[in-house]
């Protein structure tokens, strides 16, 4: 890295919760979707898991809500450099859905896809073990449409483009199939603690 | 929804040195910064780059910025930046930077918001959201393209209209707070979109919307209501 003449940057904060290259966005929650925000009612929302699973299955809003409730409280990190702390999401752990469809041993990756057509790819190990949710509440209220409501994928330990808004389903694969941003030069995994922003990081 | 072009993963990963060669004032709070990047791999209008400023203690700040210049600008790229209140990066550009300064850039990135100059382009921007759209307009002119291109650009007042001198008949400015004599004041409405949609170019419009989130929501709703297919609306929001 070459020093930029005269650049000092914002005051340094010693915040162990802040990944490298990120700043605390405070109360702001920027919206960065590339698609038109869909007009999607809960009654029209469905979530499907198929691909390398024993029992492919589609849940509607009521069926998904019948699964055990699970919450996430913590930080989220966007690749454009902001992080947001103390966010509270409510929904269902993705493990609860996966337990029903029973992934095959050959499954290594998932493609998450949205009702709008957006896609993102993740290693299966990043969406299991209590680290991923289907979230429909934010701060105790219904998740706003511009933030992915009625329901979005939530994978808070990775950059937030992995947390697909308006989630429609997961397809389990035995290989990595790049999604929307991964096919646009972004990193296949997107771990903020290793600053995996772009391909090659 | 597929991207318009493929993006090389290798291109995205390399940091290159960019030397500031010129600063041009556009409006009281907006300037254009021109850089020489001798090994710039080239971009398509609408793409963005990532730049990095590094402090002496190793602290680095990265930001995504849309590219303002057309592709045919051998070894140069231009960025047009707002002076953001308390912005550590835009603040450096607007108060410290001078020709000869060197920074680091990587990219170009994203094929989604790219416009290669093939399809009829309906461009809708607000404030500095006009920047990537200007790259498209400049490309259209530089190449003498005949495919239709229309630009709707919303600003608060005439003095805040970036690139005002460069616009021609393809552009309709919309003024939300104050306007020149004889021009209406108010938000962008269906009446701005309707005549463009009525042109019905062969193959239909590919729409590109850039601005704040609230503007992008408003503009994309206007387009959908006017009959533009949602899968042919590409949005870039600030944040």
- Domain that includes residue A54, residue range: 43-194
Q: What pLDDT does residue A102 have?
A: 98
* Whether pLDDT at B82 is above 90: yes
| Residue A10 within any structural domain of the chain | no
Q: What is the pLDDT of residues A158-199, one digit of tens each?
A: 999 999 999 999 999 999 999 999 988 889 999 999 999 988
Helix (H, G, I), strand (E, B) or coil at B231: helix
Strand partners, B35: B20, B77
| Residue A27 within any structural domain of the chain | no
Helix (H, G, I), strand (E, B) or coil at A59: strand
* Whether pLDDT at B9 is above 70: no
Which phi and psi angles does B14 have, rounded to 5°?
Answer: -90, 130
| Residue A118 within any structural domain of the chain | yes
Spell out the domains of chain B, with CATH numbers in brackets. 9-109 (2.40.30.10), 121-237 (3.40.50.80)
| Residue A151 within any structural domain of the chain | yes
ipTM value, please give it: 0.87
| Residue A184 within any structural domain of the chain | yes
- List all residues 6 or more positions away from A51 whose beta carbon is below 8 Å from its beta carbon: A107, A110, A170, A171, A172, A173
Please state the rounded mean pLDDT for residues A100-111. Answer: 98
Is A200 within 8 Å of chain B by CB? yes
Give how many domains chain A has, as a whole number: 1
Which residues of chain A make contact with B8, given a CB cutoff of 8 A? 185
- Cα angle B5, A167, A102 (rounded to 5 degrees) comes to 110
Positive or negative, the Cα torsion across A144, A164, B153, B82? positive
User: Tell me, what CATH number does A150's domain have?
Assistant: 3.90.420.10
| Residue A8 within any structural domain of the chain | no
Which residues of chain B make contact with A19, given a CB cutoff of 8 A? none
Helix (H, G, I), strand (E, B) or coil at B112: coil
CB contact under 8 A, B9 and A34: no
Q: What pLDDT does residue B78 have?
A: 98
Which phi and psi angles does A100 have, rounded to 5°?
Answer: -75, -40
* Residue of chain A minimizing CA distance to B59: A9
* Whether pLDDT at B1 is above 70: no
Looking at per-residue confidence, does B72 or B218 come out higher? B218
- Do A128 and A136 form a contact (C-beta atoms < 8 A)? no
CB contact under 8 A, A35 and B217: no
The DSSP H or E segment spanning A96 is helix A94-101
Is B111 within 8 Å of chain A by CB? yes
| Residue A165 within any structural domain of the chain | yes
CB contact under 8 A, B7 and A185: yes
């Amino acid at each position: 890295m070459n020093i930029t003449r005269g650049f000092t940057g914002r005051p340094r904060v010693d915040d162990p919760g802040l990944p490298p290259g990120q700043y605390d966005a405070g109360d702001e929650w920027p919206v960065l979707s590339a698609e038109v925000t869909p007009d999607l009612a809960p009654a029209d929302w469905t979530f499907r898991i198929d691909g390398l699973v024993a029992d492919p299955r589609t849940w509607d809003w009521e069926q998904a809500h019948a699964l055990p409730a699970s919450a996430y409280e913590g930080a989220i990190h966007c690749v454009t450099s902001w992080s947001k702390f103390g966010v509270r999401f409510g929904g269902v752990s993705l493990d609860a859905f996966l337990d029903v469809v029973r992934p095959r041993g050959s499954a290594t990756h998932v493609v998450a896809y949205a009702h709008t057509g957006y896609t993102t790819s993740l290693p299966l190990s990043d969406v299991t073990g209590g680290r991923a949710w289907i979230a429909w509440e934010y701060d105790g209220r219904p998740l706003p449409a511009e933030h992915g409501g009625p329901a979005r994928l939530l994978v808070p330990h990775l950059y937030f483009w992995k947390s697909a808004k308006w989630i429609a389903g997961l397809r389990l694969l035995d290989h990595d199939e790049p999604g929307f941003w991964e096919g646009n030069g972004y990193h296949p995994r997107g771990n903020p603690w290793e600053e995996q922003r772009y391909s090659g990081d | 929804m597929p991207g318009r072009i493929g993006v090389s993963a290798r291109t995205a990963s390399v940091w290159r040195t960019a030397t500031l060669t010129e600063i041009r004032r556009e409006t009281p709070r907006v300037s254009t910064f021109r850089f020489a990047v001798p090994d710039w791999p080239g971009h398509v209008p609408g793409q963005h780059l990532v730049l990095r400023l590094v402090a002496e203690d190793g602290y680095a700040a990265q930001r995504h910025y849309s590219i303002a210049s057309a592709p045919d600008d051998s070894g140069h790229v231009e960025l047009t930046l707002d002076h953001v209140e308390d912005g550590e990066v835009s603040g450096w550009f607007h108060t410290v930077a001078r020709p000869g300064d060197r920074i680091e850039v990587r990219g170009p990135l994203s094929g989604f918001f790219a416009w290669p100059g093939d399809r009829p382009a309906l461009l809708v921007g607000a404030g500095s959201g006009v920047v990537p759209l200007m790259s498209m307009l400049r490309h259209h002119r530089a190449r003498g393209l005949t495919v239709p291109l229309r630009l709707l650009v919303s600003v608060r007042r005439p003095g805040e209209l970036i690139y005002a001198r460069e616009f021609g008949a393809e552009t309709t400015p919309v003024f939300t707070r104050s306007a020149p004599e004889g021009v209406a004041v108010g938000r962008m409405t269906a009446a701005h979109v309707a005549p463009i949609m009525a042109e019905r170019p062969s193959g239909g419009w590919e729409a590109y919307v850039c601005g704040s989130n609230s503007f992008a929501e408003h503009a994309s709703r206007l387009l959908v209501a006017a009959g533009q297919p949602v899968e042919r609306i590409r949005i870039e929001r600030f944040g």
